[in-house]
């Protein structure tokens, strides 16, 4: 028997629980395999797979990926150290640019947040509270334009959602960092609107 594959495209506001529910519903209702990529993890779901199994698989794969990144040779550790130093310099540069960032240019704002994500991958400390305050002064708030307020085909609303998602990530206790998926969402936004 040939099984067809149904591909879903998660929204920026979707959590792993949302995606797992969508995949299992799609697989069950179509009788086909359902798949998507979520935060760089490819998920493939057969009919009658519980959503909890999809979530468990996602976190297992994410844990494996993170372990591989952290464990390595002396050369790998030196490379991480050098990257962390460069990232610290980049954070300083971003903090100097923030007061003059053109908050009317949505692409520039998203680019700045993407650069911030790249600079904070190595655990460098930075003034996330200050960043939130500056963005809020310009009308950008965590989780803005999400849920029923999200309008996928509206350039400004969609950009606000990406920015709100990034700002919300800064609030996560102990992490305070923009999630790496901002790059995928930014790319899709640019392709659609620019």
The 10s digit of each residue's pLDDT in 153-185 is 999 999 999 999 999 988 876 677 888 889 999
Q: What is the pLDDT of residue 1?
A: 39
Neighbouring C-alpha atoms within 13 Å toward the C-beta of 130: 9
Whole-number pLDDT of residue 41: 87
pTM for the predicted model, two decimal places: 0.72
Residues 55-65 have a mean pLDDT of 82
Predicted pLDDT at 5? 79
Q: Is the dihedral of CA 153, 158, 161, 165 positive or negative?
A: positive
pLDDT tens profile 120-162: 887 788 899 999 999 999 999 999 999 899 999 999 999 999 9
> Rounded mean pLDDT of 50-74?
77
Looking at residue 2, what is its pLDDT? 43
As beta bridge partners, residue 140 has none
pLDDT at 78: 79
Distance CA 135, CA 99 (A): 10
The predicted structure's pLDDT at residue 173: 63
Indicate the SS3 state at residue 87: helix
pLDDT at residue 158 in the model:
97
pLDDT band at 4 (very low <50, low <70, confident <90, very high): low
What per-residue confidence (pLDDT) applies to 15? 85
Residue 67's pLDDT is: 64
pLDDT digits (tens, 9 = 90+) for 87-118: 889 999 999 999 999 999 999 999 999 999 99
| Contact partners, residue 35, CB within 8 Å, separation at least 6 | 5, 6, 7, 8, 23, 42, 43, 44, 45
* Helix-then-strand count for the chain, H and E: 7, 3
């Amino acid at each position: 028997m040939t099984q067809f594959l149904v591909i879903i495209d998660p929204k920026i506001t979707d959590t792993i629980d949302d995606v797992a529910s969508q995949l299992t519903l799609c697989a069950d209702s179509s009788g086909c395999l359902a798949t998507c990529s979520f935060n760089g993890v490819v998920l493939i779901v057969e009919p009658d797979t519980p959503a909890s199994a999809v979530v468990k698989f996602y976190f297992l794969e994410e844990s494996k990926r993170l372990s591989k990144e952290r464990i390595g040779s002396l050369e790998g550790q030196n490379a991480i150290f050098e990257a962390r130093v460069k990232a610290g310099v980049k954070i300083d540069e971003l903090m100097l640019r923030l007061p003059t960032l053109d908050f009317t240019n949505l692409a520039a704002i998203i680019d700045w947040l993407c650069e911030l994500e790249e600079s904070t991958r190595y655990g460098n400390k930075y003034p996330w509270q200050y960043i939130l305050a500056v963005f809020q002064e310009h009308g950008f708030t965590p989780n803005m334009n999400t849920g029923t307020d999200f309008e996928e085909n509206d350039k400004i609303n969609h950009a606000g959602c990406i920015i709100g998602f990034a700002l919300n990530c800064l609030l996560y206790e102990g992490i305070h960092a923009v999630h790496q998926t901002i790059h995928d969402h930014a790319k899709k936004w640019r392709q659609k609107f620019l």
